Amino acid sequence: MRAPPLLLLLAACAPPPCAAAAPTPPGWEPTPDAPWCPYKVLPEGPEAGGGRLCFRSPARGFRCQAPGCALHAPAGRSLRASVLRNRSVLLQWRLAPAAARRVRAFALNCSWRGAYTRFPCERVLLGASCRDYLLPDVHDGVLYRLCLQPLPLRVGPAAAAPETPEPAECVEFTAEPAGMQDIVVAMTAVGGSICVMLVVICLLVAYITENLMRPALARPGLRRHP
């Protein structure tokens, strides 16, 4: 019987099932009463002031789904980066409710590694209600490092010592070249076409064997036993 090998070939040539995009876990999205995220892109240099106040809407319900998105989430960390195919990166973080009440802002520092040293790419000051930030126009094949540090509230008189800030959490990623992604997609499409052609050939061979060759093989037997 040729049915089992044919079924095995169909199973081997079938495309892999698409990975379902995992929904945003609880705690990663901003609260419903935070419709806007205020932020400032700080100028380069040691000075902390300056920058224009901007607002952006949070990315609610975002899902990172391959092949258009690659998720970088260190285990046990509250910071993750979703590298999109359009060379932008969505940075998301979560915070416990008790810790969120002690935070007045977030300091985001971006840098990328060169041949001999690291270069700063962006410094952003985000409001306490922010839980994500979109970093546009990252370079292909460059190792980026994004570090987020919660800034504590200023409690008590100005002369009192400020509360010690929590350590920054960092995530590293490398944006895959868009050309390489196109090559992978093209190879997948070509492989699927080859599998379809093999299935059609196998079906033709099975049809010819069952309908044309079997009657020809049965005729000599009929002559021997009239």
User: Domain limits of the chain?
Assistant: 37-155+163-176, 179-209
Distance CA 14, CA 17 (A): 9
* 13 band by pLDDT with thresholds 50, 70 and 90: very low
Euclidean distance between CA atoms 108 and 24, whole angstroms: 22
Number of Cβ atoms within 10 Å of the Cβ of 126 = 22
pLDDT in tens, 199-218: 888 888 877 777 766 655 55
Of 105, 100, 146, residue with least CA distance to 123 = 146
Quickly list H helices, 19-78.
none
Q: What is the rounded distance in angstroms from the CA atom of residue 216 to the CA atom of residue 218?
A: 5
- Report the DSSP beta bridge partners of residue 120: 111
21 has pLDDT over 50: no
- What does pTM read for this prediction? 0.61
Tokens 């609880």 -> residue: 26
Q: Which CATH architecture has domain 37-155+163-176?
A: Sandwich (2.60)
The crossing angle, in degrees rounded to 10, of helices 3-13 and 178-208 is 170
The residues pairing with 89 across neighbouring beta strands, listed in sequence order, are 83, 135
Find residue 37's DSSP bridge partners.
56
What integer is the mean pLDDT of 43-66?
A: 78
Q: In which band, very low, low, confident or very high, does the pLDDT at 20 lie, cut at 50, 70 and 90?
A: very low
